Amino acid sequence: MNEATVRSSRLRRRTALIALAFVAVAGVAFGSGIVGPADAAVASVSTGKPPKPPGGGGGGGGGGGGTTELEYVAVGDSFAAGVGARSYLETTCYTSSKGYPRLLDADANLRLVALPACSGASTVEVITGQVPAIPTTTTRVTLTVGGNDVGFAAVMQDCFVLRTSACESRIQYGEALVADGTIKANVAAAIQAIHARVPGAKVIVTGYPLLFNLPNARYQWAARVNDGTVNLNNAIEAAALANGAVFVDVEVAFAGHGIGSAGPWINDWSWLFYTDGFHPNASGYVAYAAEVRKAIG
């Protein structure tokens, strides 16, 4: 075997190893659906702060008690779990202590009683694996979902990591599901399932931030994906408003903080921290929490 053949063989092996490594981690990095509905329901996460003492802190010792806190549950995908913020509480769903649900739990009027949100969850997995985990006493539920339904993992993989010729078809697949009403129907079904589980609860549905600061010289497809995210958010908002839920738009809050900005709130791709790629960082989830806080009370 001559030297050129040896070099070619080594290059093929390295390429194969990189591809295998990507396949192994893509489900975690993008929430590609490797985590199924059963996993989403059983991820063991300590939720909530210590209970308040009986009596609500008042004097007089007249019995009674209880708390003025609203019981809160967060369902949805990796953006609801807090992927990208690190400080992960477990490695099944990658819920984070710095995700917006745990940040809201620190508020005096809220108590996070369950956090079944899970990386990889689609609307189907929210309905089948997460909604049943909502306690029937819950009065506030946040929902972030829809990205995996349109193929978020595949788009990130083929347009921004491996940059393959499949990028265009991946984007078109998601665009078609938004355009034909599928995403609106899917999100509506998830909201309806929550209402059926906890009929008196207020449901707060969030959108997604635009991932990229524009113009973006590094990523050819950045503007196209941002446009797709706007359309996805519009479909999610329509589903929320048509089904008795409140919609929280985070696009304005994240403006100027996408990938490629001077102060990004979205993590760029990194093989070292592949779990976090294309998700908000800790500052991003602070912004998420601030927007949700306006609607959840």
> Cis before residue 199, ω within 30 degrees of 0?
no
CA angle 172, 176, 182 (to 5 degrees): 145
Residue 254 has phi, psi (to 5 degrees) of -90, -5
Q: Which helix or strand (DSSP H or E) is residue 204 part of?
A: strand 202-206
Closest listed residue to residue 148, CA positions, set 121, 118, 178: 121
Is 32 assigned a catalytic role? no
Q: Please state, in angstroms and rounded to a whole number, the distance separating the CA atoms of residues 272 and 211.
A: 20
Q: Please state, in angstroms and rounded to a whole number, the distance separating the CA atoms of residues 291 and 206.
A: 9
In contact, 85 and 99? CB cutoff 8 Å: yes
Is 257 assigned a catalytic role? no
Q: Please state, in angstroms and rounded to a whole number, the distance separating the CA atoms of residues 149 and 126.
A: 11
Which position among 78, 96, 119, 122 bears the catalytic label? 78
Q: Please state, in angstroms and rounded to a whole number, the distance separating the CA atoms of residues 7 and 2.
A: 9
Residues catalogued as catalytic? 78, 279
